[in-house]
Amino acid sequence: MTEIKIGDHVRDSRTKEYQGEVKNIAIIKQLVVCRNGLTSLVYESDVEPAPRLTSEEAWAQAPILVVHEILERGTVLYEFDRRQIRHECYRLLGGSGIKVTEPVKERVRAIIEQVASALHVQSV
C-alpha cells in the first residue's frame, strides 16, 4: 500500500468515493479526513490516495467549490470571504498543476462574482 501522508487526498478503496484531505494520522493508523469542512476518522486500510485532478477537472470543480464556500457564508460576501474562497480555488487549481498566474486569478474572481450573483448573495 502507498504511504498516505498529511495533506494527501484519499478515496474509499472499495467504492472509490472521494473521502477528503488527510489532516492528522493517529498511531493506530486512523486518518482524520476533512471534506467540505467536516472531519471524520477512517482506517488507513479503507482508503487509498485519490488520483490527481487534470486541469480540466480542476476548472470544472472550481465553480462547485465556490458554491459550497458561498453557501457556508450566508447572504453577504465580504472581502475577507472572497479572499478565503479565492485561496481555496488556488489550492484546488494548483494541486492539478495549474500555475496561479494573473489570468488564472482573474478567471477565479469572475467565477466567484458570477456564482455570488446567481445565488443572489450581496457583495460588500
Cα(3)–Cα(64) distance, integer angstroms: 29
Domain spans in the chain, listed from the N-terminal domain onward:
9-49, 55-123
Is the pTM of the predicted complex or chain greater than 0.75? Answer: no
Q: Express each pLDDT in 46-100 by its tens digit.
A: 776 777 889 999 999 999 999 999 998 888 999 999 999 999 999 889 888 899 9
Cα(84)–Cα(77) distance, integer angstroms: 11
Q: Express each pLDDT in 32-52 by its tens digit.
A: 677 766 777 776 667 767 778
Other residues' Cβ atoms within 10 Å of the Cβ of residue 46: 14
- Which pLDDT score, from 0 to 100, does residue 70 have? 92
Nearest to 42 by CA among 17, 64, 59, 74: 17
